Amino acid sequence: MHFFYFIPLFFSYACWGDSNGSTNLDIFPKDDWAVRTPSELDIDGTKLTKLFELSFEDPATQAVVLIKDGYLIGERYAEGFDEQSFGTSWSMAKSIYATLIGISIDRGEISSLDDPVAKYVNAFADARRDITIRDLLDMTSGLDFPEHEHETMFFQNDHLQYALEVDISKEPGLVFEYNNVNSMLIGEILLQATGKGADELLEDRIFKKLNIDKYSIWRDSVGNVMSYCCIDMSARDFSRFGLLFARDGSWENEQIVSKAFVDETFTQIWSEIPSNTINQQRGYGMHWWISRNNKEAVIFNASGKFGQYIFVDRERDIVFTRITRYYATGANVQDWGRLKLISWIEDVTLFRKIAEFLAKTGLVNANTDIATPITFEDGVSNEFFLNYELIVDALIEVDS
């Protein structure tokens, strides 16, 4: 059973904006979202239903939320979940933390995207001295990229130390390699540039501005912010971040991050990137993926492992968020506990399956024996990936 409803059916939600139902770019969520029916925005409700039905062909789907013109016009939740249920971002966090780089550039704390990383990270004053911040964000650092793709960093006590020890193997700026180490370094750059941790910056410079007050920002066992992954919050609040980029970095009367940075972020650098899961080649640039970039539509997305997405269509002022099933514990500091015994496993999928088996058999309690973001089998996408192109088509059709 799924819960599928158009939000305005519930009187308890506030509606912001003018009384005749007109829409404009001044509509932003306060404590809650302004709401409208699809028909109030001249949208055929059957098109929204099609998008949601395609999304829920995958039983891993926990929630989908559709924002149009700043209004929440529909959402749907799997049984046992609702609008307050947390998902975890996985790598959607990369797009969020990259925004802090833009804000620091706006404030003069970082001079330029073309600054060498070594300007802020002393350990890079070696063979890696030519790697720039832009190289990190475009995934072209040239840092070593082994078969396990540095997903093993997730199982370390000190993720930053792991990242600092990765050597260079290619000339920067030439080859796209989706490397988690690039994103882990963002947190250290921000710390050295501002004197503040990425978690504090995220809270003060983005979340408070967007009225997001319920979340968990994950840190590793020694306190480093995991800036390549792992922010827990609701699908509605992930949508707030999407709306920030749909609105060119502006929120109400404040420019949170410059339009110039948003414009550069939404410029495709790489194209025709193959995928082992998604049934479509994609593009990439500045820690965002590109779902569609042609005359029909320009849609960028923040993307996370197992099927987490925030799709942003700036021209249509649309945000579409989808997260998979996740069981938040309220923790925010990683502690592998008993699972440390299997942390030597380099295959992340195998590790996850063993951890789930131990949890189901009662040998490990996922709520008390360990503390880490973890997606079990019921949150691993399949059909959503297979339907990816159809879903993007359906998203475009919503406002066509």
Burial class (CB in 10 A: 0-12, 13-18, 19+), 41: middle
Residues 323, 76: Cα–Cα separation, whole Å: 11
360/294 same-domain check: no
* Residues 178 and 313 grouped into a single domain: yes
For residues 345 and 283, membership in a common domain is answered with no
Looking at the structure, tell me whether residues 230 and 349 fall in a common domain: no
Q: Are residues 385 and 341 part of one domain?
A: no
What local confidence, expressed as pLDDT, does residue 172 receive?
Answer: 97
d(CA 148, CA 92): 20
Are 150 and 166 in contact by the 8 Å Cβ rule? The answer is yes
pLDDT, position 24: 62
pLDDT tens digit at each of 400 positions of the chain: 444 444 433 333 333 333 333 346 789 999 999 999 999 999 999 999 999 999 999 999 999 999 999 999 999 999 999 999 999 999 999 999 999 999 999 999 999 999 999 999 999 999 999 999 999 999 999 999 998 889 899 999 999 999 999 999 999 999 999 999 999 999 999 999 999 999 999 999 999 999 999 999 999 999 999 999 999 999 999 999 999 999 999 999 999 999 999 999 999 999 888 887 887 778 999 999 999 999 999 999 999 999 999 999 999 999 999 999 999 999 999 998 888 888 778 777 888 888 888 888 888 887 788 899 999 999 999 999 999 999 999 999 999 8
Q: What is the pTM of this model?
A: 0.92
- The confidence score (pLDDT) of residue 21 equals 39
The reply to whether 283 and 309 lie within a common domain is yes
Which segments of 61-149 are extended strands (E)? 61-68, 71-78, 86-88
Answer yes or no: do 363 and 277 share one domain: no
For residue 165, the enclosing domain spans 1-335+371-400
Pair (356, 300) in one structural domain: no
**Same domain flag for 188 and 250:** yes
pLDDT of residue 171: 97
Same domain, 261 and 275: yes
- Domains: count for the chain: 2
Residues 222 and 345 in one domain: no
For position 222, which CATH number holds?
3.40.710.10
Q: Quick one: 188 and 203 in the same domain?
A: yes
